[in-house]
Structure 1
Amino acid sequence: MNRKQEETETPSKYMNQMIRQQQKQLLRLLRKAGVMPDERIEVRDSELLIGLFSQIRRLPEFAEDKKKAAMLMHAMDTIFKFPVSRATVQKIYYRNKDF
């Protein structure tokens, strides 16, 4: 860490990337060991479900804090298995269309 990062105590982009990679590796190992099941709910109508979560994201509790909206997105991605790519899920989740 450089001096500026030490003062603000915010991890660099590189450190965030390394943390995410380690988290993914840990999840893979836990699933392989049978500690954490690899069961996600299959979704057929992706757009409707993602749209509903997107509506939750627009509640005042989430609108004030962008981290909470990102956490909701991550939780949705953890619980459900979508037949579309993660990029498509994010595009639907973050667009400004009402359902």
Structure 2
Amino acid sequence: LAAEMAQLGDIYCNDAFSAAHRAHASTEALARLLPACAGRLMQAELTALESALGQPERPVTAVVGGAKVSTKLELLGNLVGKVDNLVIGGGMANTFLAARSIDVGKS
């Protein structure tokens, strides 16, 4: 699929920060087949992230959500040493609640 998509363009510009970590045909594979760069929106996200985590004003609270904790373990491990408070929400919170024997129903 990525090879077919690559035939439609000359350069791959990723401007989707929220999907940049996914190994999909339309992101990771396409970036390997074409000359690739980050777009201006991606640059703005990375600049904001560096500002928030590089030398932030304290206290710093990070809010992380999502469905699967397994895909964010590395991120959580990095954040825990850089923030004063870490708030976990979304479906990911259910993993932590269940570990504390709190009933999360069918989630």
Higher-Rg member (1/2): 2
**What is the TM-score normalised by the length of structure 1?**
0.25
More strand by share: 2
**What is the TM-score normalised by the length of structure 2?**
0.24
